[in-house]
């Protein structure tokens, strides 16, 4: 097991390049299964979750080659449509394999997915969408078996704009007979990236990022010689929050400011200065105390991202005044609160509402990461704290941040990865 040891109190300075988006790369890797051929995808981050996806694709028969951040996939020789249970249980995103396998091979078997422990994460919308396209789905013990001799385009109204369900339905519908409309889909930038990739494969998808996505089914798809994944907006936002917490001035390269509008708005509100010039962003905080914000409500894009809720809570923990956060996307996404309280934060949680009473300082402690973003938040808290913080179970953090400690060291943070026997 590995841990991070952090000595707090150092301001951050310097320039870093933001990694490609994990949440865009995962469905795009799965979507490559839709078309027979050799596809090359660039800016794929080197992360545990991507490793799991690569292992699954390999077990299905895909020849995957990886060089640095470029992955090439030869999808001509698929041997199986059964997603291995032990890999599926490691990552919820393996659910994305349902849509493409069903569309190309007319059958797929998955087990109930695993992933971050952040409340109940159902898959009813995925199932409902695939059924509407004509799939027959049965649950046998822990397995979900889907079959469809043919998929037929239809109109699917999502009760909630689920990111994963929107992506699964988009992928399945690319090879259906006729037109599919997804009403009330998720509008995240990763959905737009998937649409762009699918269209490179020869699919006819439009409307991603709006209230309706239209997919006109096609008979054949082809290989994609080169596709570049968008920058990771949550990783960028985490570094923006980091400099807000420690003070200093950093420059981020490879960012799309439009994807970060809500985060930028709230960082401005707490007193952080941000300037952008195309895909470069500079974030600065002087010695003045951060200001509390009345209320942050997490919601689907373009709302405030739930994936930044924990990191923002650290900022607000040391701000001047009382702030509140309402988490509306997931049921149980406050697992970092207990750990932050142990570091001296004053936070009360009542259901989905958290009230944060700003304190002057946090103190270094031994804490445990419970999920990916909670883990990132604890690293930020460690950088704000007086003394030494040890964050355990950092495999959660490695699921989403490429060599986080090396990037933070490059910016001047005192953080080390240690192995515990």
Residues contributing to the site for ligand UD1 (CB under 6 A): 23, 26, 92-93, 120-126, 160, 162-165, 186, 190, 306-307, 329-330
C-alpha distances out from residue 22 to 51, 63, 142, 243, 259, Å: 11, 21, 27, 22, 15
- Nearest in space to 93 (alpha carbons), one of 36, 158, 167, 20: 167
CB nearer to ligand UD1: give 24 or 292.
Answer: 24
- Residue 116 known to be catalytic: yes
Q: How far is the CB of 251 from ligand UD1 (least distance, A)?
A: 26
Q: Which residues, 6+ apart, have CB-to-CB distance to 30 below 8 Å? A: 53, 57, 93, 96, 97, 99, 100, 171
Active-site residue, selected from the candidate residues 16, 18, 116, 368: 116
Q: How far is the CB of 400 from ligand UD1 (least distance, A)?
A: 8
CB nearer to ligand UD1: give 23 or 370.
Answer: 23
- Nearest in space to 162 (alpha carbons), one of 404, 329, 21, 335: 329
Other Cβ atoms closer than 10 A to 224 = 22
Judge contact between 169 and 156, C-beta under 8 A.
yes
CB nearer to ligand UD1: give 353 or 410.
Answer: 353
Q: Tell me phi and psi for residue 143, to 5 degrees.
A: -105, 150
Q: How far is the CB of 167 from ligand UD1 (least distance, A)?
A: 7
Other Cβ atoms closer than 10 A to 139 = 10
Q: How far apart are CA 243 and CA 397, in angstroms?
A: 18
Q: How far is the CB of 307 from ligand UD1 (least distance, A)?
A: 5
Other Cβ atoms closer than 10 A to 149 = 9
- Nearest in space to 5 (alpha carbons), one of 421, 403, 364, 396: 364
CB nearer to ligand UD1: give 92 or 262.
Answer: 92
CB nearer to ligand UD1: give 93 or 323.
Answer: 93
Which residue's Cβ has the minimum distance to ligand UD1? 164
Judge contact between 181 and 212, C-beta under 8 A.
yes
Q: How far is the CB of 266 from ligand UD1 (least distance, A)?
A: 16
Q: Which residues are catalytic?
A: 116
């Amino acid at each position: 097991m590995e841990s991070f040891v952090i000595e707090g109190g150092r301001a951050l300075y310097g320039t870093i390049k933001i990694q490609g988006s994990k949440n865009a790369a995962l469905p795009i890797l799965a979507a490559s299964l839709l078309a027979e051929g050799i596809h090359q995808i660039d800016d794929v981050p080197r992360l545990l979750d991507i490793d799991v996806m690569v292992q699954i694709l390999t077990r299905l028969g895909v020849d995957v080659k990886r060089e640095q951040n470029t992955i090439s996939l030869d999808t001509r020789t698929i041997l199986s449509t059964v997603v291995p249970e032990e890999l599926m249980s490691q990552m919820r995103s393996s659910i994305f394999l349902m849509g493409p396998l069903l569309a190309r091979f007319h059958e797929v078997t998955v087990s109930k997915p695993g992933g971050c422990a952040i409340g109940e994460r159902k898959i009813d919308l995925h199932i409902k969408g695939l059924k509407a396209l004509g799939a027959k789905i049965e649950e046998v013990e822990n397995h979900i078996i889907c079959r469809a001799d043919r998929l037929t385009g239809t109109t699917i109204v999502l009760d909630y704009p689920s990111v994963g369900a929107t992506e699964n339905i988009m992928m399945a519908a690319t090879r259906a007979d006729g037109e599919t409309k997804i009403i009330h889909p998720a509008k995240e930038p990763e959905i737009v990236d998937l649409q762009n990739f699918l269209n490179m494969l020869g699919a006819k998808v439009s409307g991603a990022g709006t209230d309706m996505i239209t997919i006109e089914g096609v008979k054949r798809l082809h290989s994609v010689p080169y596709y570049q994944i968008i920058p990771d907006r949550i990783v960028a936002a985490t570094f923006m929050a980091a400099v807000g917490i420690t003070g200093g001035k950093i420059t981020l390269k490879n960012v799309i400011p439009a994807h970060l509008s809500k985060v930028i708005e709230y960082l401005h509100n707490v007193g952080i200065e941000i300037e952008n010039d195309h895909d470069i962003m500079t974030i600065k905080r002087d010695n003045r105390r951060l200001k509390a914000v009345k209320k942050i409500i997490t919601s689907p894009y373009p709302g405030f991202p739930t994936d930044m809720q924990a990191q923002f809570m650290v900022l607000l923990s040391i701000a001047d005044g009382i702030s509140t956060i309402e988490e509306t996307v997931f049921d149980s996404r406050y697992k970092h609160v207990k750990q932050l309280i142990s570091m001296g934060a004053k936070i009360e949680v009542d259901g989905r509402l958290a009230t944060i009473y700003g304190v002057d300082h946090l103190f270094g402690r031994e804490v445990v990461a419970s999920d990916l973003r909670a883990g990132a938040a604890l690293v930020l808290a460690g950088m704000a704290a007086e003394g030494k913080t040890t964050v355990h179970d950092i495999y959660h953090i490695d699921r989403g941040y490429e060599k986080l400690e090396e990037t933070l060291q490059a910016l001047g943070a005192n953080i080390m990865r240690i192995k515990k026997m």
